[in-house]
Amino acid sequence: MLEILRVTFPFFALVLCGYAAARLRFLPLEAIPGLNGFVLFFALPCMLFRFGADTPIAQLLDAGVFFTYLLCALVVVAFSIAISLNARIRWNDASLGALVAAFPNTGFMGVPLLVALLGAQAVGPAIVTIVVDLVITSSLCVALSRMDAAGQHGAAVAARKALAGVLRNPMPWAISLGAAFSFWNLELIGPVNKTVSLLADAASPVALFTIGAVLARSQMLAHERPDGPLRSADYLPIALIKLVLHPVLVLMVGLTAIQWGVPIEPFALQVMVLVAALPSASNVSLLAERLGADNGRIARIIMVTTSAAFLTFSGAVALLKP
């Protein structure tokens, strides 16, 4: 366990550094969107492209991993919405809460952390889960979030807008381009490859630092909530779903699928479970803000899962890693 903590501690320490920098105003809150933009549009796509290009194409097209993980994500979304809907939490807030329950922080935190723990072979299954979350889970939850206004615009309009958002997201394109390079055994020319490598190397530390800064900003602005203080019942069940139910569900469904003859490698299942055990994706907070959801609730879920994951994720690694 100590060896695992030695690997995971620096990743969570960088999140804490970003949190402290924003709380102490060493990092102006106005600078956080710039950091997000650098990670989302420059550093992270380069990292995902590099991983995709270096990963055998068969691992990136693993249907067993794709559909098993997708089934679990859909179950988590449905269950989270079912237990959240009430007189105060309507479709918009319930759907974005379901998204943080089902969408791990795989891009910003998971890929570099899993590579450090398990080696480069963990990239293939992790990238498959990213595709599921970015393309299907996110689009579904955004479409469901518009159900409150179904009479005005309809879920179909929301679904089209969600798909347009996916198409504007550089991460799926970076993964696809990397997969194309892997399939055709292509390589970038020297200076371009060096530039991509420099940006890719910056992705992990800047992304983790940014996660902390985003969480600090959300907490500092929590007093602006129009509905008053949050109730623990509004966010703790979703945090438990993310950190406990999601990885356990992936493990159970994956083991069942293997027994039924679905070709999933035990190592790929291990990666899937650890992806599900990651804290919630921090970028959902920005999406909630844009869609008019209760961003304070979403940010609190992300805060709780990120804080607790230092122990819960490390424990999951200890249980699963041979």
Full-model pTM? 0.90
53 φ, ψ to 5°?
-70, -30
Q: Of 181, 247, 233, 139, nearest to 46 (Cα)? A: 181
- Assess if CATH 1.20.1530.20 describes domain 2-320: yes
* Per-residue pLDDT tens over the stretch 2-36: 788 889 999 999 999 999 999 999 999 899 888 88
pLDDT band at 269 (very low <50, low <70, confident <90, very high): very high
**Residue ranges covered by each domain of the chain:** 2-320
Q: How far is CA 302 from CA 36, 172, 242, in A?
A: 16, 23, 10
Q: How far apart are CA 198 and CA 201, in angstroms?
A: 5
Q: How do the residues of the chain divide into helix, strand and coil, expressed in percent and rounded to 5?
A: 80, 0, 15
pLDDT digits (tens, 9 = 90+) for 176-219: 999 999 999 999 999 999 999 999 999 889 988 988 998 888 77
